[in-house]
Structure 1
């Protein structure tokens, strides 16, 4: 049984519509995701990773969670690890490298884009995730932008 779960790079395993985490419950998982991030995470990023709505009540509890610091940055609340606050905050001001999708991920993105040409980045993210592949929205956006396909997609913010 221990060999069955296949956790992704975020420590999350999805079985059907249920997410499991190697870190424990939802708050423990979010705390670990924040701790492991290079630049902290905003509510939208957290919501995408753990598949909750961005205005979930979890975020009001998160601002008081031990080891987490919340700060407004460019109009959005960003959640930082208390231990790595300076390092994470300095990462926000420098350009960061977004990974490029693998060949198979690129094909999956393009297939969904051809099937649903008016999809937003978020909709593409969800459609690719339905196929069992988790590709971060910023990776999808960077890929489409690199190939000049971003302009064909409305609502890219």
Structure 2
């Protein structure tokens, strides 16, 4: 069935006013068959919802995607990436620290547990356990390496340094106060494999330690802020 351009123009205006519509609504507005409606959807470049079994559509000029590339309107969810699989992969690919199933669910508004696990099993995502949760990463080796490192730093920053690890950090920092958190972590890693830049930054910020200070200034301010190195480290211990 061929429709005139005028009919399609009027139908597009009506559907745009609905913001989000179904295939049945489009068929009704155009008074056309399912096949014709599907052809026009493609012709117009309409976006399809990644939820509700792709039951919702919207005109491209109507969609308003957020910084994650997601647009929500009523019960419908749309993505710049495409369907749900493409959206999950797209989000994880550009996430600096990968994403857990819970984090994906919060962004997408869809429960992710078994779905994202299936993507791992089909070789589309990589999964690794960080702390007590599984995190999903890109299949690209270079991207995944950066994501994993960032996620581990986040984990250890949240966990904090143990008392003994904190003492080791302070000792190294007093020896050479020109070292930054990344350099301290690198120097200590042979002895403390779990130490990370994030954990050191978290520890320094928590205790008001300026790691850009000179040695004398650091020692003076540290003594003034706490009665002993041991008490400072003790309060910075992990959970």
Normalised TM-score (structure 2): 0.37
Map of 1:114 onto structure 2: none
Map of 1:15 onto structure 2: 73
Report 1:26-105 matches (<5 A).
Answer: 26-55=84-113, 57-83=114-140, 84-95=143-154
Pair 1:54–1:25, CA change in 2 (3 A): closer
Higher relative contact order (CA 8 A, sep 6+): 1
- Corresponding residue pairs, total: 95
Report the secondary structure of 1:82's partner residue.
coil
Map of 1:107 onto structure 2: none
Report the secondary structure of 1:63's partner residue.
helix
Report the secondary structure of 1:87's partner residue.
helix
The 2-side partners of 1:29 and 1:54 are apart by: 12
Pair 1:61–1:43, CA change in 2 (3 A): same
- Structure 2: which 5+ residue stretches go unaligned? 1-58, 156-239
Report the secondary structure of 1:94's partner residue.
helix
* Structure of higher CA gyration radius: 2
Higher helix share: 2
TM superposition shift of 1:22: 1.2
Normalised TM-score (structure 1): 0.56
Consecutive aligned runs of 4 or more in structure 1 exceeding 6 Å deviation: none
Report the secondary structure of 2:121's partner residue.
coil
